[in-house]
Structure 1
């Protein structure tokens, strides 16, 4: 595997009236292409902030976050938008699906926004829904789907364009244990089948144990973590 992300002495602070909150400092991390990585930690430890840095949704206060050897802070806003659309897939605890559209239309949305023709994208979106076990729900409105089905739609949407990286923030946080395990299995399968890098931040230790490698963010630093 080759080096994909490299964090070099990365720190992050948030400034507010009368206070400066230091989330972490001097984070050094390498994420290899194709690996499945879990990051765990207490609420407020900065797990989601790490993911946002990987997703070009935020920039470090100090240090460098590089993707494929390129300092992401040097990307222009348009380059960051293109990077998020073409290179990354995102899955969040709250699925952020559009309720007025069908499951099929939601899955197709990133490609359509990216300029693809709707008629060309819909067959691919339907095939991806079949891949996640929702072929019979493709034309259903989001409001009629269960929580687990909605999260599978969100995953199908995230991987439609075959991203190099899938970033998942508490993807099982709103699901029961059985459904959460099914979503975890699906993420692992997509990681292997599509060869994409998978980074998951989670409180779910069972989900974390399914990944190739684990890290814990604690007191502003990263530590290797075994879930065996």
Structure 2
């Protein structure tokens, strides 16, 4: 494996009226291409901020974040948009699906918006829904799906274009234990099958234990974490 992400002494500060909040402190991190990494920590520890830096949704206050050798701070807005559309897949605690559309329409929509040919993408969307175990629910409206089914649709949407990286922010946070375990297993299978890098921030100890490596974010600093 080779280094895909590199954090070099990254700090992140948020300013609020009358105070300054230091969320990340001198973070140095290498994420290898193809690995499955979990980042755990208490609420407010900066896990989502770290993920946003990886996703080009935010920039560090100090230090630099490199992706495949490129300083992400030097990306133009158009380059960042293309990076998020083509290179990354995102899965969140709240699935952000459109309830008035079917499962297959939700999976296909970002790619169609990105300019892909609709007939080709709809075929790929159906294939991906079959892969995540939803072949019988493709035409179902999102409002009729269970929480676990909705998260599977969100994962199918995130990996439809075979991204190099899947970023997941508390992907099992709204699911029961059994359904959460199924979602975790699915993400690990896709990590291996597609060769994509998987980075998950989570409170879920079992989900973290299923990843190849776990780090804990505590007081703005990363530590190696044994979750066995």
TM bucket (normalised to shorter chain) is over 0.9
The residue correspondences of 1:2-13 to structure 2 (distance < 5 A) are 2-13=2-13
1:23 aligns with 2:23: yes
1:151 aligns with 2:151: yes
Q: Which residue of 1 aligns with 2:82?
A: 82
RMSD, aligned α-carbons: 0.5
Partners of 2:156 and 2:178 lie apart in 1 by 19
Q: Which residue of 1 aligns with 2:69?
A: 69
Q: Which residue of 1 aligns with 2:41?
A: 41
Partner SS for 2:178:
helix
- Displacement of 1:100 in angstroms is 1.1
Partners of 2:78 and 2:223 lie apart in 1 by 34
The residue correspondences of 1:144-183 to structure 2 (distance < 5 A) are 144-183=144-183
Q: Which residue of 1 aligns with 2:108?
A: 108
Q: Which residue of 2 aligns with 1:134?
A: 134
Partners of 1:157 and 1:220 lie apart in 2 by 31
Partner SS for 2:174:
coil
Deviation sequence 1:69-112 (CA, Å, 0-9, x none)? 00001000000000000000000000000111100000001110
Q: Which residue of 2 aligns with 1:220?
A: 220
Partner SS for 1:166:
strand
Partner SS for 1:180:
helix
Partners of 1:161 and 1:107 lie apart in 2 by 10
- Displacement of 1:56 in angstroms is 0.2
Partner SS for 1:135:
coil
Deviation sequence 1:161-187 (CA, Å, 0-9, x none)? 000000000000000000000000000
Deviation sequence 1:112-153 (CA, Å, 0-9, x none)? 011011111101000000000001100000000000000000
1:91 aligns with 2:96: no
Partners of 1:112 and 1:3 lie apart in 2 by 31
Query: Which stretch shows the higher mean deviation, 86-95 or 18-27?
Result: 18-27
Q: Which consecutive segments of 4 or more residues in structure 1 shift more than 6 A? A: none
Aligned residues: 228
Partner SS for 1:136:
coil
Deviation sequence 1:35-88 (CA, Å, 0-9, x none)? 000000000000000000000000000000000000001000000000000000
TM-score (norm 1): 0.99
